[in-house]
């Protein structure tokens, strides 16, 4: 089945340290990948996406993600985490169903940035 997996439930990181949130995918053909962030009691906000081209994608709020085809991964990264980055992060892949632009989401990773 086509899907994404986020293997960690929670990621704890000290403020100022690098942040990595992991995502692996399983799709046929070329994947079309997204990262979203959800702050408490809010909807999902789009961070970045990979369509094609450069494997390093830069997005909002200083986040970037690296597409790695050999490892089927699309990890989200930030060089220096802020307390305000504490949120729920979702990886998603667009599934190639005719007429259906469905996004398949991972279960989400809770990121806690410790002051």
Q: Contact residues for another protein (CB under 8 A)?
A: 32, 34, 36, 41-46, 49, 51, 90, 92, 94, 99-103, 105-108
Q: What is the C-alpha separation between 60 and 10, in angstroms, rounded? A: 21
**Smallest gap from residue 92 Cβ to another protein (A):** 8
Classify residue 74 by burial, with Cβ atoms within 10 Å: 0-12, 13-18, 19+: buried
Which residues pair with residue 108 across a beta bridge? Answer: none
**Smallest gap from residue 45 Cβ to another protein (A):** 7
Pick the closer one to another protein by CB: 41 or 70. 41
């Amino acid at each position: 089945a086509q899907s994404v997996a986020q293997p960690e439930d929670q990621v704890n990181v000290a403020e100022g340290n690098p942040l990595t949130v992991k995502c692996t995918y399983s799709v046929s053909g070329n994947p079309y990948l997204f990262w979203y962030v959800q702050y408490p009691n809010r909807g999902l906000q789009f961070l970045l996406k990979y369509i094609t081209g450069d494997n390093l994608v830069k997005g909002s709020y200083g986040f970037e993600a690296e597409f790695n085809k050999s490892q089927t991964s699309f990890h989200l990264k930030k060089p220096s985490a802020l307390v305000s980055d504490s949120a729920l992060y979702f990886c998603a892949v667009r599934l190639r169903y005719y007429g259906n632009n469905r996004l398949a989401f991972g279960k989400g990773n809770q990121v806690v940035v410790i002051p």
